Structure 1
Amino acid sequence: MRASDAERERVAETLREAVAEGRLEMDEFEQRLDATFKARTHGELVPLVSDLPAPGAAVAPVVGVSPATVRGASGDVDWSRRIGGPATSTWAFAFWSGFGRKGRWTVGRAFTAVAVWGGGDIDLREANFEDREVVIRCFAVMGGIDVKVPPHVDLHVNGLGFMGGFDEQTKDAGEPEPGAPRVRVTGFALMGGVGVVRKWTKAQRQRRREAEEYRLRKPDTGDGRKELG
């Protein structure tokens, strides 16, 4: 049977409540929400919420949850799903040109980037990690390399700049989350620059804002939990 706009909106509301309660990580929420508004039939909508309680439904308390399964403070990332698996890239090189690694890719446990009279962009905000600890070695000679990481990873920067810069910016910085990968950025910049910044993508910031606004709209029951329904 064909789905109506009202039915799609009810599914979207269920997804918004689930991400506000920490049942869905942010990237899975975005994927399901996108699929919701593209769905044309009931058969496409049902799997998107089949593992979620309906808004307002009573939920039994969870007993005996292992600390390893608990998401970090931001509630956005299930790091266990983003660590492990073979690397899709372990190096990048630019000479009078540029390179980019962004979106869904898997960074190797040792990644080397070289930019000579060129530039490079290494974006880890939506990336997976081959190992719980990765080392990114950046070498910029009369060029520049930008490294973007999620705010809640365990980040260490210790590169050297000579007639150039090797800098870390702390925009959107936060404490490392339990289970988050450790990212070490090191290397050398000669008459060039390497910049490391912690920040969310625009889409992630928007989704976090929407989830927080939705959570705040829920009346407080007085025991630290938000009332459902």
Structure 2
Amino acid sequence: MTSELPEMRASDAERERVAERLRNAYAEGRLDMGEFEERLDLAYKARTQAELVPLVRDLPEAVTPAAGAVEGDWHGRVGRPATSKGAFAFWSGFGRRGKWSVARNFTAAVLQGGGDIDLRDADFEDREVVIRCFAVMGGIQVVVPPDLHVEVTGQGFMGGFDDRGAGAGTPGSPRVRITGFALMGGVDVRRKERKSSRKQLRK
């Protein structure tokens, strides 16, 4: 007799644990970008635990991090009220640096100007953040830390939308998608160590 009991619903915490295993697998080279993005999308859309299991069936079990491991670096930095939802520059420039909180939907635009968006010390309104960058005859530079999950899907026409900063983050990292359009201009996404990390390395 076939069981008529409903499948167990997946929780947000279970979806996030699967997402972290996928990020680790991508960082270790077990998944290519296409496989990683497909599985990650399915993980966040999963409604039941049964839908999550096949996504990590062929991947090693997650190792529980020691106290003070990387997850702690994101503790308290997600869920902060946004301090900025956008920026615009015309024949001038703008900057978002240091300690600030990124809105879940942030839009930046420059027209014959320039902009700097630095996420290394930023907080995040949500675990899923979309940054839209539009550069017309100007440039926007987005600086991200090495441990942040970043996806770049923007396009350039007679300009460039550089995705060198794209890549998987560490467990607990927010998911930041950078998209938009560059016309006779450029959007540059690059990874840099935090200033505090560089000081520690020097010491």
TM-score range normalised by the length of the shorter chain: 0.5 to 0.7
Equivalent position of 1:125 in the other structure? 120
Give ranges in structure 2 of 5+ residues lacking alignment.
1-63
Equivalent position of 1:160 in the other structure? 155
- The aligned runs of 1:48-197 (5 Å cut-off) are 72=69, 75=70, 78-170=73-165, 175-197=168-190
Change in Cα spacing, 1:184 to 1:194, as seen in structure 2 (3 Å) is same
Size of the aligned set, in residue pairs, is 140
Equivalent position of 1:51 in the other structure? none
1:43-62: per-residue Cα shift (whole Å, max 9, x none)? xxxxxxxxxxxxxxxxxxxx
Deviation at 1:150, TM superposition (A): 0.9
Q: Does the aligned pair in 1 maintain the 2:71–2:170 contact within 8 Å?
A: no
1:154-192: per-residue Cα shift (whole Å, max 9, x none)? 11001000000000224xx87521110011000000000
TM-score by length of 2: 0.63
Deviation at 1:208, TM superposition (A): 4.2
Q: Distance in 2 between matches of 1:69 and 1:91?
A: 37
Q: Does the aligned pair in 2 maintain the 1:162–1:191 contact within 8 Å?
A: yes
Q: Does the aligned pair in 2 maintain the 1:68–1:179 contact within 8 Å?
A: no
Give ranges in structure 1 of 5+ residues lacking alignment.
1-66, 211-229
Does 2:197 correspond to 1:204? yes
Letter in 1 for 2:105: A
Deviation at 1:198, TM superposition (A): 1.1
Q: Which structure has the greater CA radius of gyration? A: 1
1:191-211: per-residue Cα shift (whole Å, max 9, x none)? 00000011113442221454x
Q: Distance in 1 between matches of 2:83 and 2:65?
A: 26
Q: Distance in 2 between matches of 1:198 and 1:131?
A: 21
1:2-49: per-residue Cα shift (whole Å, max 9, x none)? xxxxxxxxxxxxxxxxxxxxxxxxxxxxxxxxxxxxxxxxxxxxxxxx
TM-score by length of 1: 0.57
Q: Does the aligned pair in 2 maintain the 1:71–1:178 contact within 8 Å?
A: no
